[in-house]
Amino acid sequence: MTWDRSVWLIPLLAGCGGNLGAAYDVGTGTPAPDVFACVRDSLRTVGFRQTSNDVDDYRLTAVRYDDEARRADVQFRRLVERLEFEVAPGTGEAMTRVTATAKTFAELATQRGPTEQQEKTSQSTREAAESLMKKCTSPVDSTQVPG
């Protein structure tokens, strides 16, 4: 009978893991280098700092620390908000496909050093990712370009 119980336990545990990150996937008619440059140049406007940059594959990551967050846990240090962007060639009508992932981690001070535990993505991190996606995937209005 032990085996029968474990059969029900595996799907239950698998469902509890869930994806805690918020993912966004948008197709646009703007060329990949332009979208990538827009994302890279706009990170500071939403309060993030670039941590990695792969210009060959058009990928970058950014981080923002929330030192004002408080928890009842004595090991809690701060919240770490991360954004990951990947710009790739699109298919069909979309010239470029942009994928963004927003994640939030709780940074803890443990005996073995700083440790991060992923949490549900914070609203401010979601809004930052959505803002950058909207800004950098919108088509350029040629009537607004000077010259």
CATH of domain 19-137: 3.30.530
- Amino acid at residue number 77: R
* pTM metric for this prediction: 0.78
Which two three-digit tokens encode residue 46?
Answer: 């939403």
- Residue 81 DSSP symbol: E
Report pLDDT for 90.
82
Report pLDDT for 21.
81
Report pLDDT for 120.
95
Higher pLDDT, 89 or 80: 80
Report pLDDT for 20.
75
- What's the CA gap between 143 and 147, in Å, rounded? 10
- What's the CA gap between 113 and 109, in Å, rounded? 6
- Residue 44 DSSP symbol: G
Per-residue pLDDT reduced to its tens digit, 11-33: 444 444 456 788 999 999 889 99
Higher pLDDT, 4 or 53: 53
Per-residue pLDDT reduced to its tens digit, 101-147: 999 999 999 999 999 999 999 999 999 999 999 999 887 655 455 54
- What's the CA gap between 52 and 63, in Å, rounded? 10
Higher pLDDT, 66 or 144: 66
